[in-house]
């Protein structure tokens, strides 16, 4: 029987069930005008739910309720209880939930249910899960639920072998994809196959610098570059490639906020200004009365106040925290 075209009251298997109407109290202030088909499904659902019935008909009814409202946590929870009680085919259930997810890709309850299934099915399902998240991310590269699920699958079930390659592919398609940059960092620090951040840092710096040179106004690789040295400012300063990329970009565009911001971090961390850096900033410093006698860090801060007007108050405050560096 095609249940999608007929309500529960027409299902012979539910003939013995007395629907339980929703109780909104004697005087609801703003009663919700539910559709008749939705109200009927939920009335029958409440009857089976309150009875604690774990049966095939209860499972079919939860499917009907989910199609009416995929965000109903109680229905999903009850469905899981029924699936366990019936020892149902969870691969078949995974197919069901994926069809729902394709139409509701940002529904938390669906992804929670999917994780529950994946936990039950184990590592054999890992590749299938990765394929599904790739399908969702091809539609919306910033779907937080899909990324969160993908990271969980990697850590719980595996599939690390091709993940860095996947990140490369996404960034080749769109180097501005900050979610892909975030996933790349996750892989570098968490993958059991790559050796960790210290092993991968050198090649990652080269990769990131190449991305910056391709588009210096792309904030993501600048943040990624800094993240590669998080908590290790001494190494950040010691790596000449970092100050080098700042100078290379500023030579062509001294207003690049991301290069200036990273340069300021380097100066604060103890970078000794090179003659090349002084030569780039000297014309700016000498032309502005506010920076004529200032140290280089203060000069950079003043430039940022002008180049980054949305955060002018932040840079004004930041300037007050600077000590004499040069």
Residues of the chain with pLDDT under 50: 1-4, 324-326
Can 106 be counted among the known catalytic residues? yes
CB 70 within 8 A of CB 45: no
In the chain, the N- to C-terminal Cα span, in Å, equals 81
Q: What is residue 3's predicted lDDT score, i.e. its pLDDT?
A: 46
270 vs 265: CA distance, rounded Å: 9
CB 170 within 8 A of CB 184: no
**148 φ/ψ angles, rounded to the nearest 5 degrees:** -60, -45
Q: Look at residue 286 and give its three-state secondary structure.
A: helix
Q: What is residue 273's predicted lDDT score, i.e. its pLDDT?
A: 84
Q: What is residue 158's predicted lDDT score, i.e. its pLDDT?
A: 97
The candidate with the shortest Cα–Cα distance to 14, out of 50, 41, 39, 52, is 41
The pTM of this model reads: 0.88
Give the active site residue among 106, 142, 230, 306: 106
pLDDT, one tens digit per residue, over 143-155 is 999 999 999 999 9
The candidate with the shortest Cα–Cα distance to 112, out of 143, 141, 71, 81, is 71
Those residues whose C-beta lies under 8 Å from the C-beta of residue 71, and which sit 6 or more positions away, are: 104, 107, 108, 109
CB 224 within 8 A of CB 185: yes
Those residues whose C-beta lies under 8 Å from the C-beta of residue 74, and which sit 6 or more positions away, are: 49
Could you tell me the two tokens for 274? 């090179």
Query: In whole angstroms, how far apart are CA 239 and each of 17, 217, 250?
Result: 73, 22, 18
Q: What angle do CA 244, 224, 325 make, to 5 degrees?
A: 50
CB 70 within 8 A of CB 100: yes
Upper half-sphere CA count for residue 176 (Cβ side, 13 Å): 4
């Amino acid at each position: 029987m095609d249940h999608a075209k007929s309500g529960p009251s027409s299902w012979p298997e539910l003939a013995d069930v007395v629907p339980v109407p929703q109780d909104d109290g004697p005087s609801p202030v703003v009663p919700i005008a539910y559709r008749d088909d939705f109200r009927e499904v939920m009335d029958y659902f409440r009857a089976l739910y309150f009875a604690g019935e774990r049966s095939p008909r209860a499972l079919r009814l939860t499917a009907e309720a989910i199609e009416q409202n995929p965000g109903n946590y109680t229905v999903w929870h009850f469905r899981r209880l029924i699936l366990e009680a019936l020892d149902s085919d969870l691969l078949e259930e995974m197919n069901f939930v994926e069809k729902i997810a394709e139409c509701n890709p940002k529904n938390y309850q669906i992804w929670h249910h999917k994780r529950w299934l994946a936990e039950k099915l184990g590592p054999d399902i890992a590749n299938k899960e990765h394929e599904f998240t790739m399908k969702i991310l091809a539609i919306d590269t910033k779907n937080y639920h899909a990324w969160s699920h993908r990271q969980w699958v990697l850590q719980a079930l595996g599939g690390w072998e091709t993940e860095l390659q996947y990140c490369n592919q996404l960034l080749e398609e769109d180097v501005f994809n900050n979610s892909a940059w975030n996933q790349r960092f996750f892989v570098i620090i968490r993958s059991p196959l790559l050796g960790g951040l210290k092993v991968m840092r050198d090649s990652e710096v080269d990769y990131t610098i190449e991305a910056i040179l391709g588009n210096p106004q792309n904030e993501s690789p600048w943040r990624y570059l800094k993240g590669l040295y998080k908590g290790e400012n001494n190494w950040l300063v010691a790596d000449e490639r970092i100050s080098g990329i700042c100078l290379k970009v500023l030579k062509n565009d001294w207003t690049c906020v991301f290069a200036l911001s990273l340069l300021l971090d380097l100066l604060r961390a103890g970078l000794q200004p090179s003659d090349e850096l002084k030569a780039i900033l000297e014309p700016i410093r000498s032309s502005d009365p506010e920076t004529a006698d200032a140290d280089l860090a203060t000069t950079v801060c003043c430039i940022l106040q002008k180049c980054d007007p949305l955060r002018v108050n932040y840079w004004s405050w930041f300037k007050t925290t600077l000590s004499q560096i040069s």
